[in-house]
Amino acid sequence: MACNLNQTLPLPKSKKDFLSLLFIPPTPFCCWLVAASTSLAAEFFVFLCVDSNSKSGVKMTCFGLCLRGIASPTHNNLTEIDEEISTIENARVYHYKELQAATEDFCPVNKIGKGGFGSVYKGRLKDGRLAAIKVLSVESKQGVKEFLTEIKVISNIEHENLVKLYGCCAEGDHRILVYGYLENNSLAQTLLGGAHSSLQFSWKTRTKICIGVARGLAFLHEEVQPYIVHRDIKASNILLDRDLTPKISDFGLAKLIPADMTHVSTRVAGTLGYLAPEYAIRGQLTRKADVYSFGILLLEIVSGRCNTNKRLPIEQQYLLERAWKLYKKGELIELVDTSLGDDFNVDEACRFLKVSLLCTQVMPKSRPSMSTVVKLLIGEMEVDAEEISEPGMLSDLLSLRSNKNTSSDSLSAGSGKQVDSSSSMNTTMTHGTMTFTSINDRNS
């Protein structure tokens, strides 16, 4: 005789009601599949099998399975992301198929960048806008927290010198950020990348970039509430548009700090060579950590070289150390990029270099605010009126870490190594610099 699958059972509204179903007298020759309501489904699943052919009479076997606490971690993460994104204003959520179509199924020809986080593709959205589509890899060092941080920080602010976030995609296990497309990649690739770029950086262009980045940071530090500390200001995170206007990018490590807090203590994250001493050693984060990083970037832009270069003679390997030595000798002008020839303003170049030394003072309180930096760069304030003392050197930091049983060799490649540590003296290194393919000749 066939099983009676049509028997209607009352829908349980609580765990007590659900458990009471186990004691309903069974109908002979019947199989029941009993499931809780939606609110209970994640906790219980019970299968009742009634067999009247048993020699001992009617026999009911109950197979119970408690599912509480064994939900997939991936499912939990996806739910977390969906909930977080839903609360963020101005964050458009793209479907994966939209971005797949925009990049021609993520065609390798459209790949314009690659790094430890994944890849960046050039794509055209449905509305016709060009976009830089940042696809995080499964093995990405940028996890769910950093993914959400980047969306939260940049979606609600807009400034000429900050990248523009169009939206994101968190469909399935995909983690994708969609930014406005910037034609000329990053400073690391173009200015500091040597023969890899055909762009020419005149002195006027360099001053424009320095002042633009300073204004972007001043906006984050002083015009946004809670204020934002970027934590990873470096050449590879300064992107350039068609007119070589600089845009600060990559807010995955950014910290939002309430105005009533002087500092926060946090894990050390960023890039060696740009890290402020007090932050690298003690994990003490303030806006002055960004000021220090900007000072290093300013030196790189004026000199046209990376802050660390092991191929140079030992006395020239660390850019900040060399700048300080030249400053004490009154020969700071020798640091200016030789490719400029005589085509630069000597007084302006010296001013910029002195500002970089002010920004990198070993004591945070001795560093100017970013709004003051802007005034110093454009000449509204006199830099010679400021006292300049010895800056916080990378070599000193490396020596200190070496004394803590950390190999200095693994920490010395300043412009290309990223720090991410929960302990200031227990640092793991990852490749944090993104590399780009040339797109100067691509059709827009």
Question: Binding site for ATP: residue ranges?
Answer: 134
Cα(17)–Cα(364) distance, integer angstroms: 64
Radius of gyration of the chain (CA): 29
Give which of 169, 193, 81 is closest to 121, Cα–Cα: 169
| Cis upstream peptide for 226 (omega within 30°) | yes
Cα atoms in the 13 Å half-sphere on the side-chain side of 339 = 15
Nearest to 309 by CA among 406, 439, 412, 158: 412
Task: Classify residue 25 by burial, with Cβ atoms within 10 Å: 0-12, 13-18, 19+.
Answer: exposed
Torsion of CA 267, 273, 274, 280, to 10 degrees: 30
Closest CA to 185 of 133, 246, 252, 100: 246
Distance CA 130, CA 120 (A): 13
Give, for 303, the enclosing helix (H) or strand (E).
Answer: helix 287-303
Q: Which of 119, 181, 178, 112 is nearest to 150 (CA)?
A: 178
Query: How far is Cα 195 from Cα 189, in angstroms, rounded to an integer?
Result: 9
Distances (CA, A) of 244 to 60, 345, 357: 77, 20, 25
Spot the catalytic one: 232, 250, 290, 337. 232
DSSP-assigned letter for residue 58 = -
Query: How many whole angstroms separate alpha carbon 150 and alpha carbon 146?
Result: 6
Tell me which DSSP letter residue 308 carries.
B
Note whether 134 and 151 are within 8 A (CB). no
| 384 annotated active-site | no
- Cα→Cα distances 428→76, 235, 307, 363, Å: 28, 21, 20, 26
Helix (H, G, I), strand (E, B) or coil at 315: helix
Two structure tokens written together for 235: 């050449």
CA gap 360, 337 in Å, rounded: 20
Catalytic residue numbers read 232
